[in-house]
Amino acid sequence: MSAVVQDPQLMELNPPLVQGTGDLHDLTDQISSVVEAQVFETPLKYWITLACTSSIVLLLGAMITYLVNTGIGVWGNNRPIGWAWDITNFVFWIGIGHAGTLISAILFLFRQKWRTSINRSAEAMTLFAVMCAGIFPLFHTGRPWRAFYWLFPIPNTDLNLWQNFRSPLIWDVFAVSTYFTVSLLFWFTGLVPDLATLRDRATTKVRQVVFGILSLGWRGSARHWRHYEQAYLILAGISTPLVLSVHSVVSFDFATSVIPGWHTTIFPPYFVAGAIFSGFACVMTLLLIARWLLNLQNLITIKHLDNMNKIILVTGSIVGYAYCTEFFIAWYSGSIYERFTFLNRAFGPYWWAAWSMYTCNVFIPQLYWFRKMRTNLWVMFIISITTNIGMWFERFVIIATSLTRDFLPSSWGYYSPTWVDICTFIGTIGLFLTLFLLFARFLPMIAMSEVKGVASQEKHAFAGQEGKVLHR
């Protein structure tokens, strides 16, 4: 492939992915310096933020302790709404994770080079989000110390039981645990060359030993890279159907039931689009925070953010289309229960939740049709947050509105969260942010080896301007 000749006008529309000199050593220095900084060299704003978020983790610990000690009655879910905030939060967090895999795997397969600055942090976000997600079903079992035998097919003499593989709930266990494991392996594989860089730069014995072990003795040999690249491609290739399957399987939890509003074939694609939508918004929130806290403006450029906003616009519109389809099918089906459920969704007791969801998910992201909006940091920060609020409401609306009106009016009810519900959810947000902040400070947040590859290629794209054609 010959190099692309770049003219100044095109440069403005399509700026380089890595700003600055593109010198490889400078890149290593900049990215590693975040990890290698002394305590006082890291901006104070970082430590203050970390102190706030880790205090919220303590709240989570307290809530879980209280729940386990007392029983799950401290949560507000009860008949007829047996699934409430816990499953809402579970689906919400799993959905957040999906953008990480999308960025690291699907955009990799599509050769989208702009992903290199954000893929590491997006993958880390996936891991942390799945951890937060796991908390809810695990503690909803009431006896999490036994959940191991309930959830995984492990021969045991303790309970003498096997799982029922006809249940979508066990599919969910397989999907989510596979998702976590594969994401972890993928993330670690990508980290190894960068850990080797940190090992080679280490100045203290502790760092030498820690990074020496973690980097597995990586030395960047051509014999390593050929296996590595092949493995990376395979992991990306299997993660792509995996990420689509995970939220499809999550949606089966609802779709295989006979509850009006849940029993629908649109759920798998609708859930996946929503997951990517919310996940991208969450990556956006985190990147904007990290970019500001750790001064990474030249690596995470407006172009990266602009591209992500375009994806938010597309997936948000898909979600909006799915809402319309749901209403249409409810009318077209002729089923009085379906019709009632959807009218009840928009105008029933949870109308406020439904309209928050439509506003946040469908109407607000339409601002992204305008380039000015896509490149304004404040606008994107606010939209990234409203999108996540909207997507949280989407799960809540689906779960609560269908359950609140049972087939028999005598079984109708209304769900309100207890303070424990609310504090537990806030606690997981704290856990998520704390893990992310720790990662951003103690591991290379940007994939050095990948960014160097891109920077090196871009340098040659500019060399092409002088008439020198390079082949690669």
Partner 1 sequence: MSQVPDPAILIAQIKDKLGIGADKVYGVIGEFSEPEELVEAGRTIRGMGYTKIDAMSPFPVHGIDEAIGVPYSKIGWIAVCGAIAGITTAQVLIYYVGVIDYPLIIGGKPLFDFTYSIPPTFELAILFTAITTFLCTWGLSGLPRLYHPSMNYRDAHRASDDRFLLVIESDDPKFDAQKTAEDMRRVGANDVEVVEG
Residues that bind partner 1 (CB under 8 A): 23-25, 28, 153, 161-166, 168, 170-171, 174-175, 178, 181-182, 185-186, 188-189, 193, 196-197, 199-201, 205-206, 208-209, 212-213, 216-231, 234-235, 238, 241-242, 245, 249, 252, 448-450, 452-453, 456, 470, 472
Which residue type sits at 465? Q
| Phi, psi (rounded to 5 degrees) for 417 | -70, 150
Sign of the dihedral through C-alpha 443, 444, 445, 450 = negative
Could you tell me the smallest distance in angstroms from the CB atom of residue 372 to partner 1?
Answer: 36
What is the dihedral angle through the alpha carbons of 302, 307, 308, 313, rounded to the nearest 10 degrees? 120
Could you tell me the smallest distance in angstroms from the CB atom of residue 27 to partner 1?
Answer: 8
The nearer residue to partner 1, 118 or 308, going by C-beta atoms, is 118
Could you tell me the smallest distance in angstroms from the CB atom of residue 182 to partner 1?
Answer: 4
Could you tell me the smallest distance in angstroms from the CB atom of residue 229 to partner 1?
Answer: 5
The nearer residue to partner 1, 155 or 334, going by C-beta atoms, is 155
The nearer residue to partner 1, 131 or 214, going by C-beta atoms, is 214
The nearer residue to partner 1, 173 or 364, going by C-beta atoms, is 173
Could you tell me the smallest distance in angstroms from the CB atom of residue 166 to partner 1?
Answer: 5
Sign of the dihedral through C-alpha 286, 288, 294, 300 = positive
User: What are the C-alpha distances in Å from 459 to residues 83, 220, 462, 472?
Assistant: 54, 21, 5, 13
The nearer residue to partner 1, 244 or 308, going by C-beta atoms, is 244
Task: Classify 78 as helix, strand or coil.
Answer: strand
Could you tell me the smallest distance in angstroms from the CB atom of residue 266 to partner 1?
Answer: 18
Q: How far apart are CA 111 and CA 107, in angstroms?
A: 6
Q: Yes or no: say if 15 and 113 are a contact pair by the CB < 8 Å rule.
A: no
Could you tell me the smallest distance in angstroms from the CB atom of residue 443 to partner 1?
Answer: 15
Q: How far apart are CA 351 and CA 353, in angstroms?
A: 5
The nearer residue to partner 1, 31 or 273, going by C-beta atoms, is 31
Q: How far is Cα of residue 185 from the mean position of the Cα atoms in its chain?
A: 16
Task: Classify 83 as helix, strand or coil.
Answer: coil
The nearer residue to partner 1, 8 or 155, going by C-beta atoms, is 155
Q: How far apart are CA 472 and CA 464, in angstroms?
A: 13
